[in-house]
Homo-oligomer: A and B are copies of this chain.
Amino acid sequence: MEIIQRQVSLSSRKRGFHLITGEVIGAVPELKNFHTGLLNVFIKHTSASLTINENADPTVRADFETHFNKSVPEDDEHYLHTAEGPDDMTSHIKSSILGCSINIPVTDGELNLGTWQGIYLCEHRNHGGSRKIVITLSGIKT
């Protein structure tokens, strides 16, 4: 088995849910040489997260933003950690609900995603700026 790893700075996105499948795949051209393996993507932040979901209809990503704003409301008066504004603590909570890393099987030189699956960057802050991810690819080569 072999392993490669690369740190990537994603371009800054506005608050919401964004497809980054192409950016992830583009960062590891060695992927095409892996016969069987796993790809891990890890985001080095506590107010943004990664998930896998529907890759076609933009309203899915809009509905994600709507849902999480309702289920983790910014006007909750119980939060203590609000020094950076109302989107501070809520972003931490959303980040842990969705998670900071994903693992995808690699098969015959490609990510073995389902037809409708894409990788989302979930930007929970109003002004999160550029986000750093670490991509780790391990497996056996063809």
Q: Are A103 and B40 in contact (CB under 8 A)?
A: yes
- How many residues belonging to A are interface residues under a CB distance threshold of 8 Å? 63
Q: Which of B40, B115, B140 touches A3 (beta carbons < 8 Å)?
A: B140
Q: Which of B60, B70, B107, B113 touches A92 (beta carbons < 8 Å)?
A: B60
Q: Are B46 and A117 in contact (CB under 8 A)?
A: yes
A60-B81, A60-B92, A140-B3 as given contacts; A46 in contact with B38, CB under 8 Å: no
- A9 adjacent to chain B (CB < 8 Å): no
Q: Are A96 and B98 in contact (CB under 8 A)?
A: yes
Q: Which of B57, B93, B113, B139 touches A81 (beta carbons < 8 Å)?
A: B57
Q: Are B67 and A72 in contact (CB under 8 A)?
A: yes
Instruction: For the complex formed, measure the closest distance between the CB of A97 and the CB atoms of chain B, giving whole angstroms.
Output: 6
Q: Which residues of B contact A114 (CB under 8 A)?
A: 43-46, 132
- A10 adjacent to chain B (CB < 8 Å): no
Q: Which residues of B contact A80 (CB under 8 A)?
A: 59, 62-63
Known: A54-B92, A57-B81, A66-B78. 15 other contacts (CB 8 A): A4-B36, A5-B36, A46-B52, A46-B53, A46-B54, A53-B92, A53-B95, A53-B96, A59-B80, A70-B76, A96-B98, A101-B102, A103-B103, A112-B134, A114-B132
